[in-house]
Amino acid sequence: MFSDKDRAHFSNLETPFYYYDLALLKNTLNTCKTAADSHNFHVHYAMKANFNPVVLQQIQKVGFGADCVSGGEVAKAIELGFGKDKVVFAGVGKSDKEINNALDNDIFCFNVESVQELSVINELAEKKQKVAKIAIRINPNVDAHTHANITTGLDENKFGVNSWDMQACADVLNLSPNLEFIGIHFHIGSQITNLDVYKNLCIRVNEFAKWFEDHGFKVKVLNVGGGLGIDYHNPNQQIPNFEAYFKIFADFLEIKPYQEVHFELGRALVGQSASLISRVLYVKNGKKKNFIILDAGMTELMRPALYQAYHKIENISLPTGEGIVKYDVVGPICESTDCFGKEVELQQTFRNDLIAIRSTGAYGEVMASHYNLRETIATVSSEDIV
């Protein structure tokens, strides 16, 4: 929701820009923390969702750790004050340089995704006379029932170690004095809205934890990943039901007294906190289609082009036209995929009207590019509006 004060402020700014509602972000983070703390669960923020410094500072203040998938994310997390003992490094293709830098920073854990990676980390740690803490990321073959491009937990996906490779992992671990096994890790996908999926995951986590303990490994950490979705169709219903989410794991995981349960939440924490604000450049009315052409494009928000993702689109200028018109809302990029929505019902819209594309706090700004030599998109926070 945007107030008259917001609209007045936006009208004087150059568009496009990302607008961050920091009050909503703080409320979401505190709600999540309260729900997690009630079960003594540990939350790591998935930095790939959004690494705007203003956003990261708020997440660091609430005490969450950092889930990183690149050396750059590891470095940024430490630079912004995330404790090294709360930094986890995942990713199916960690380079030697990235591993070495993470070893130098004595991070909490590497989430390892292949048998060969175990050997590589052991060799690099040996050269530095260090012992690297590791968790094995296991592919549990659980269907997340989400978009095919963002599911990660099936046998056909590139992520994690498959069940038939667990004995090979155990063999390497037994021969690797520079590795300390601390647990197991899972992540089955993103934008998951059916919580029953997590019940299935818990069953698999219990099975794999028992397998490792039966083979002589103490499983101290159960890292169940993240993936909790948000309601893109109703962005004003802004905070996910974290209590129900965490309760699933409290009820269905077989947690031993010495085990910690870790989560890697991204979208659920930041997704609703931002909107992409754009200005109408042109309106093209035709016999079959009406187009609104914005000054924001797929270079500023890639998700609709990449995933055919839905975002609620609103005209936030004060109404001047009459009636509802169906528009294809598109950007200026020289690609036919540069489209935010088709047949979008909006009030009659005119040149220079302001358009808000909602729920863009996750995988919005971070995926922006300079294709067509586009400028870096600006950001504005609610604290800038006085």
pLDDT reported for residue 154: 45
Strands 313-315 and 354-357: antiparallel
Helix 71-79 to helix 96-104 angle (10° resolution) is 20
pLDDT reported for residue 374: 97
Q: Secondary structure of the chain: what % helix, strand, coil (to 5)?
A: 35, 25, 40
Per-residue confidence in pLDDT tens, the chain, 386 aa:
788 899 989 999 999 999 999 999 999 999 999 999 999 999 999 999 999 999 999 999 999 999 999 999 999 999 999 999 999 999 999 999 999 999 999 999 999 999 999 999 999 999 999 999 999 999 887 755 544 444 443 445 566 898 889 999 999 999 999 999 999 999 988 899 999 999 999 999 999 999 999 999 999 999 999 999 999 999 987 899 999 999 999 999 999 999 999 999 999 999 999 999 999 999 999 888 999 999 999 999 999 999 899 999 999 997 776 789 999 999 999 999 999 999 999 999 999 999 999 999 999 999 999 999 999 999 999 998 86
Alpha-carbon torsion, ordered 90, 92, 95, 98, to 10 deg: -10
| Cβ contact 299:370 at 8 Å | yes
Report the distance separating Cα 224 and Cα 192, nearest Å: 13
| Cβ contact 45:65 at 8 Å | yes
**Among candidate residues 12, 63, 73, the one with its CA nearest the CA of residue 41:** 63
Query: Against a cut of 0.85, is the pTM above it?
Result: yes
Which CATH homologous superfamily contains domain 22-271? Alanine racemase (3.20.20.10)
| Cβ contact 304:342 at 8 Å | no
Q: Looking at the domain that runs over 4-17+272-384, which CATH code has it been given?
A: 2.40.37.10
pLDDT reported for residue 140: 84
Per-domain boundaries in the chain: 4-17+272-384, 22-271
Strand, helix or coil for residue 234: coil
Strand, helix or coil for residue 288: coil
DSSP code at position 15: S
Check if 4-17+272-384 and 22-271 are the same fold. Answer: no
